[in-house]
Each structure stands twice: as C-alpha cells, then as structure tokens.
C-alpha cells in the first residue's frame, strides 16, 4: 500500500492503518470475531511490534506497559474480550497514558459469532474513559489517529467502539503517511503509576477533572456533527446506525451524528433538539444515548419504536420514522430448512463428540468451533458460557452433584481457549480435590477466528518459530498425574481412553490431538465412497458430516464435500466405506 492513494479496506484493516499512521509501536490482542482482522492487519506493517497474547487481560497489560514505557500502543478485542481485560482497563483510567493508549472493542449486534449481545458503550461510562465510534472504514482510520492524539493530550486511555458491520464492511479509505513518534520519556512517578489507595485517591480527582474537560471538548469537536436539512424531525445517532438512518431517511430529517459517544455533549444535544418537533434516537442494542438524552430533559422516541434485539436495517428505520413499507418482493410460500453452521468435513472434533455422545456423558463446553458439538446429530455439548468455563464450571457441577456424577462428566476446551483461561480452572480442580476429566481439543491452531497462532503452536503472529508450550508438561506441572494423548479419529482407542479417565478417582486430562482440517499442512487426499457392503445402518450418519446424506433412502457421500479424512471408515461396522483416490 502506498501513501496518497485510496484502498478498499475492511473497517478492521482501516483501524490498523490508522494505528500505523499514528505511529503505534506495540499492538497486543487475543483474537475474537469481529475484531480479529485489526491485529492481523497490523502484521503487514514491519515497524510495529505485534503479538497474539494468551488472553485479553494479558494483551491489554502488554499495551499498558508499552504506553507507560512511552510508546503508542493498542489492544483490540471483541465485546466479551473487554470483560476479560476490564480489570486493568478500569485502573488505567486512573493512571492515564504516557504514550497514547487505545483499547479497540468490537460489539456483535445480531450475534453473528458471539454468545451474547453486550453493549460495550457502558464500559466507557463505567471506567470514565472517552469513547469514539466510527461509522465506516475512512472514519475507522481517522478516529484511530484522533484517539491516539487525544489519549496523549488528555492523559487518558481511549476506547474505540466498532460493531460487526463496521468491522467487516469494506469501504474506501484515503491512505496517509506514518508519523513516526519518538518514544516518550519514561520517568519514575509512583504517584501516577502505583495505584495504591493513597495515590489512587489523588488520581481519582484527576479523572473527574479530565472528564469535565472532555465533556467540554465534546461540545466543540468536529467528531460530533449536526446536519441541518431544514426538517422538523431530528435524529440522534452514531456509528453504523447513522449509515442505516442516512440511507433510510436521506435529507428528510436533521442529524446529530455522534462520533464521540462518551462523554456526550449536553448543550449540543439540547440545541439540536430545540430546533426540532420530534426527536428520534437511532442506536442498536441498549438505549445508551436515549437514556442520556432523556436525563437532560429531552423527550425522544427510541427503543419504543425500534428494538433492543439484533441489528437495525434501513427498512426498519424507514418504517418506524415515516411509516413507509419495504418495497414489494417475492415471498417464499413454504417453510424451508435453515442452514446452521456445522463442523467442517474432516474436523477433528467430530471424532471426539461422536465418542462423547455414544458414551452419554455430560459435556461442559467452551468457546470455539467445537461449540458446534451442541448441534444435532452430535448434540453432545451441555453447556457453553464463556472462555474457560468448561473447566471450572465442571468442577462446580461435580461439587454440587458428587463424585458419581463427576464420573459421567467431561470438559472440552480447545488448545487456544485452554491457554486463554482454562489453566486456572485446571489448577482449581487439582487444588480443591476434584476428580474431573478435561479433554483439551488440540487442533494445533486457534480455529474459529480463522487460524491464529497461539502459545501451543510454536509460532508467533508473524509466523516466526518460538518456544512451544507443552500441554503434557503443563498439565503435569499443575498436579495432574493422569495425562493421556489420543487421536480422536481412532474412535475405538479414544472411547477406551475416555471411559478409563472418567472412571478414575483422580483428575485427568486427555489431549485429543489432530490438526484442524483447514490447515494447509493437513493433506487428506481422495474421497470416501460407499461400497456394496452397505446395510444402510446409518451409523455414519451419526457423525453429522456435511458430506454424508441420504438420497432416495440410501446413504451417499458427496465427493465434492468429502475431503477424504476417513473418520466414517473408522465408524462403519461393515467395512462398507472405502477410500477412492482422485
């Protein structure tokens, strides 16, 4: 990419570009949809140190250290990742920043790839850290640069808030040059950097003064713009909702577009409202702006006319504001099957869940591709809460229901998720005399978010070789004496191992080892084919493989879908499936 040019960029790539142009030196993140491509794009810039950290808290702390050390630094996460990094973030509000410090968080309205629909704007108010919200890729780039400048000028961390449609939409960005900021001086200053009560009390005063200054800035900044189209209807909005509103309502209304969503500009809102007869607040998820606007005495139409659930659309806005219907379209006159996501053909997790389902075990699940183990026909996973909960929640279940229950219970957790927050749960099992069995689904990569390296893969974010965390040694070191490695595609042996380990009167770890089928290093060849020995017992159908289905009463394998992994060959009791090389 060259300077003074334009490029079509994802919002996420534009955040990375903005950070690059702002002279960022350190970026540390944990992958999470829809934020992942920010840090992946950072890797394209050799001037920047980038890392995948084991979890968001560590990532934020690496960025915090870099900021204190005088560098511009950033950490990016999805909305639920912000919960993990919240602890250091709240205290950094007190400490402020030395080098500019940006936390970039991507919400997921509509839950395209998430377990909840949390609205991260509340964090800005709760932590007293200002928050900017861009609406397209160009704004992503520009706001990131502004966030770094403001962070240094006001001695505060910054939040940038994205949502899926901003993160994952490409639009045109004007490229600028990198401003190579010198490292700021690091001066020992316990009053600022050591947050114990005596110091923190003084810093809290600074925080409150800072917010007053930022509130005054909110009234003046060009981030918050009024678009007066001479209408008596006013729309207060921010981020992607502005784009939807603008498409739906065009120049028929006036807009107050808030680029800075915390702190909010009271006077600007009041002035805007005074010129209109009717005010709408258009925002996805919680009535965050709406509540504030009401609190300063402006009557608005907000969630009553829209919804707290999912994404907005221009059609929804047009209907709510002008009562205009969507255009005519051809309706489907029958119920058609849904197509939920499924584990890929060749997925190593399929063997694991086939066995767990067969054994009728209760499965404490976790976050990753393998959450799909909850879906029919495998329908094996019982619970999914958050990163790492498979391990600790299983201990809780076992403590509540006793050892006999524990012997019919397993946790399943991916390699990356285990590094993220499974280790502490495992320590808890050992420390508090649990007898749980934890299955680490080691597929040699962070799968769900699109193949990021992690501490168990032996490679850094830039693909350089590094020390690899040895899962066996790690589990043994925390006190697990029974650690078994097994291949989930060798279903007979895997079943035997699981049976033995759940029955043991002590804690155990099974490392289910087989790489993700989508990895370039995995080379299955040919495809599987059903021969004349098939008795139509449909045992292979229990795998829930997208390549195997029933046509005209007979089981068939779609050779375009099959990747030749051969798992079905291992479960067929009649030797009726064989491999055919292409």
Partner 1 sequence: MTKNIMIVGVGGQGTLLASRILGNLCMGLGYDVKVSEVHGMSQRGGSVVTYVKYGKDEKVYSPIIDKGEADIVLAFELLEAYRAMPYVKKGGKMILNSQKIDPMPVITGAAEYPSEIEKKISENIDVTAVDALALAKEAGNIKAVNVVLIGVMAKNTDIPYDKWIETIKVTVPEKFLDVNLKAFDLGYRF
Cβ proximity of 353 and 512 under 8 Å: no
Q: Which of 310, 402, 450, 575 binds partner 1 (CB under 8 A)?
A: 450
**What phi and psi values does residue 23 have, to the nearest 5 degrees?**
80, 25
Give least dist CB 108 to partner 1, A. 8
Contacting range for partner 1; rule: CB under 8 A; set: 45-53, 79-87, 227-235, 444-452: 444-452
First to last CA, the chain: 40
- 3 state SS of 411: strand
Under the criterion CB under 8 A, does residue 386 sit at the interface with partner 1?
Answer: no
Among candidates 355, 343, 344, 373, which has minimal Cα distance to 570? 355
Q: Which of 561, 566, 570, 578 binds partner 1 (CB under 8 A)?
A: 561
Under the criterion CB under 8 A, does residue 448 sit at the interface with partner 1?
Answer: yes
DSSP 8-state class, residue 554: E
Under the criterion CB under 8 A, does residue 260 sit at the interface with partner 1?
Answer: no
Contacting range for partner 1; rule: CB under 8 A; set: 48-56, 174-182, 214-222, 242-250: 242-250
Give least dist CB 405 to partner 1, A. 29
Give least dist CB 242 to partner 1, A. 8
Q: Are strands 49-52 and 73-78 parallel, antiparallel or unpaired?
A: unpaired
Nearer to partner 1 by Cβ, of 121 and 527: the residue is 527
| Alpha helices per DSSP H over 221-313 | 239-249, 266-274, 288-295
Q: Which of 69, 70, 176, 377 binds partner 1 (CB under 8 A)?
A: 377
Give the DSSP H/E element, type plus range, for residue 48: none
Sheet holding 233-237, edge to edge: 224-227, 254-258, 233-237, 278-282
Give least dist CB 6 to partner 1, A. 7
Contacting range for partner 1; rule: CB under 8 A; set: 67-75, 93-101, 310-318, 451-459: 310-318
Nearer to partner 1 by Cβ, of 339 and 467: the residue is 339
Under the criterion CB under 8 A, does residue 330 sit at the interface with partner 1?
Answer: yes
DSSP 8-state class, residue 98: S
Residues 7-46 that bind partner 1 (CB under 8 A): 8, 10, 33-34, 36-37
Give least dist CB 539 to partner 1, A. 14
Under the criterion CB under 8 A, does residue 371 sit at the interface with partner 1?
Answer: yes
**Total residues interacting with partner 1, rule: CB under 8 A:** 61
Under the criterion CB under 8 A, does residue 305 sit at the interface with partner 1?
Answer: no
Under the criterion CB under 8 A, does residue 358 sit at the interface with partner 1?
Answer: no
Nearer to partner 1 by Cβ, of 263 and 346: the residue is 346
Q: Judge residue 338's burial from the number of C-beta atoms within 10 Å of its C-beta, 0-12 exposed, 13-18 middle, 19 or more buried.
A: exposed
Q: What is the contact mask toward partner 1 in residues 464 to 493, using x (rule: CB under 8 A)?
A: ------------------------------
Q: Which of 216, 308, 504, 550 binds partner 1 (CB under 8 A)?
A: 550
Give least dist CB 138 to partner 1, A. 11
Question: Before 398, cis peptide (omega within 30)?
Answer: no
Under the criterion CB under 8 A, does residue 416 sit at the interface with partner 1?
Answer: no
Give least dist CB 109 to partner 1, A. 12
Under the criterion CB under 8 A, does residue 246 sit at the interface with partner 1?
Answer: yes
Give least dist CB 112 to partner 1, A. 5
| Alpha helices per DSSP H over 478-563 | 491-503
Cβ proximity of 63 and 75 under 8 Å: yes
Among candidates 46, 31, 49, 60, which has minimal Cα distance to 1? 46
Cβ proximity of 147 and 129 under 8 Å: no
Q: Judge residue 205's burial from the number of C-beta atoms within 10 Å of its C-beta, 0-12 exposed, 13-18 middle, 19 or more buried.
A: exposed
Cβ proximity of 239 and 166 under 8 Å: yes
Cβ proximity of 191 and 205 under 8 Å: no
Q: DSSP secondary structure string, 337-385?
A: ------PPTT-THHHHHHHHHHHT-EEE--SSGGGGGGSTTT--EEE--
Among candidates 531, 416, 493, 428, which has minimal Cα distance to 53? 416
Tokens matching residue 554: 């007979």
Q: What is the contact mask toward partner 1 in residues 517 to 546, using x (rule: CB under 8 A)?
A: ------------------------x--x-x
Q: Judge residue 274's burial from the number of C-beta atoms within 10 Å of its C-beta, 0-12 exposed, 13-18 middle, 19 or more buried.
A: exposed
Q: Which of 187, 196, 274, 336 binds partner 1 (CB under 8 A)?
A: 336
Give least dist CB 7 to partner 1, A. 8
Q: Which of 86, 375, 385, 534 binds partner 1 (CB under 8 A)?
A: 375
Give least dist CB 258 to partner 1, A. 16
Q: Which of 150, 238, 258, 343 binds partner 1 (CB under 8 A)?
A: 343
Nearer to partner 1 by Cβ, of 8 and 309: the residue is 8
Under the criterion CB under 8 A, does residue 182 sit at the interface with partner 1?
Answer: no
Under the criterion CB under 8 A, does residue 136 sit at the interface with partner 1?
Answer: yes
Cβ proximity of 371 and 353 under 8 Å: no
- Polymer length of the chain: 582
Under the criterion CB under 8 A, does residue 349 sit at the interface with partner 1?
Answer: no
Which residues of this chain interact with partner 1, rule CB under 8 A? 6, 8, 10, 33-34, 36-37, 112-113, 136, 165, 168-172, 240, 243-244, 246-248, 311, 313-315, 326-332, 334, 336-344, 369, 371-372, 375-377, 448-450, 541, 544, 546, 548-550, 558, 560-561
């Amino acid at each position: 990419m060259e300077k003074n040019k334009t490029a079509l960029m994802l919002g996420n790539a534009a955040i990375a570009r903005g950070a690059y142009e702002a002279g960022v030196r350190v970026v540390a993140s944990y992958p999470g949809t829809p934020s992942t491509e920010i840090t992946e794009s950072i890797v394209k810039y050799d001037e920047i140190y980038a890392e995948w950290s084991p979890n968001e808290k560590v990532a934020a702390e690496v960025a915090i250290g870099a900021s204190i050390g005088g560098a511009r630094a950033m950490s990016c996460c999805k909305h639920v990742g912000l919960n993990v990094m919240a602890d250091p973030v709240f205290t950094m509000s007190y400490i402020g920043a030395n080098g500019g410090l940006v936390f970039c968080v991507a919400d997921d309205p509509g839950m395209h790839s998430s377990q909840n629909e949390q609205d991260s704007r509340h964090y800005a108010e709760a932590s007293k850290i200002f928050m900017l919200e861009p609406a397209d890729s160009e704004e992503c780039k520009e706001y990131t640069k502004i966030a770094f400048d403001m962070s240094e000028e006001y001695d505060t961390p910054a939040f940038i808030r994205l949502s899926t449609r901003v993160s994952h939409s490409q639009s045109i960005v004007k490229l600028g040059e990198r401003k190579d900021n010198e490292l700021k001086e690091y001066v020992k200053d316990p009053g600022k950097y050591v947050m114990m009560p005596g110091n923190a009390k003084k810093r809290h005063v600074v925080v409150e003064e800072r917010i007053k200054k930022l509130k005054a800035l909110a009234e003046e900044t060009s981030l918050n713009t009024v678009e007066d189209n001479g209408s008596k209807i006013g729309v207060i909005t921010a981020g992607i909702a502005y784009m939807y509103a603008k498409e739906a309502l065009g120049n028929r209304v006036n807009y107050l577009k808030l680029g800075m969503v915390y702190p909010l500009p009271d006077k600007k809102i009041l002035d805007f409202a005074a010129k209109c007869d009717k005010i709408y607040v258009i925002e996805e998820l919680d009535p965050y702006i709406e509540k504030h606007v009401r609190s300063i005495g402006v009557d608005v139409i907000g969630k009553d006319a829209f919804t707290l659930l999912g994404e907005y659309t221009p059609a929804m806005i047009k209907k709510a504001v002008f009562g205009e219907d969507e255009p005519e379209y051809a309706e489907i006159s029958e119920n058609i099957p849904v197509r939920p996501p499924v584990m890929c053909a060749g997925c190593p997790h399929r063997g694991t869940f086939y066995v767990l389902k067969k054994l009728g075990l209760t499965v404490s699940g976790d976050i990753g591709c393998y959450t799909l183990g909850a879906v029919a026909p495998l329908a094996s996973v019982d619970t999914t809460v958050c990163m790492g909960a498979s391990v600790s929640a299983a201990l809780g279940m076992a403590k509540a229901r006793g050892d006999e229950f524990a012997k019919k219970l397993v946790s399943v957790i991916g390699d990356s998720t285990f590094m993220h927050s499974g280790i502490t749960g495992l320590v808890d099992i050992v420390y508090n005399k649990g007898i749980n069995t934890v299955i680490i689904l080691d597929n040699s990569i962070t799968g769900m978010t699109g193949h990021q390296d992690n501490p168990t893969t032996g490679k850094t974010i830039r693909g350089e070789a590094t020390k690899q965390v040895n899962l066996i040694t790690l589990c043994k070191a925390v006190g697990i004496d029974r650690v078994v490695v097994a291949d989930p595609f060798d279903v007979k042996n895997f079943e035997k191992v699981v049976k033995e380990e759940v029955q043991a009167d002590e804690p155990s770890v099974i490392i289910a080892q087989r790489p993700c089928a989508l990895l370039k290093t995995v080379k299955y060849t040919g495809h599987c084919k059903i021969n004349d020995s098939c008795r139509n017992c449909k045992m292979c159908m229990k795998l829930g493989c997208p390549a195997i289905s029933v046509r005209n009463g007979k089981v068939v394998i779609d050779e375009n879908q099959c990747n030749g992994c051969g798992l079905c060959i291992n479960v067929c009791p009649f030797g009726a499936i064989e491999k055919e090389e292409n």
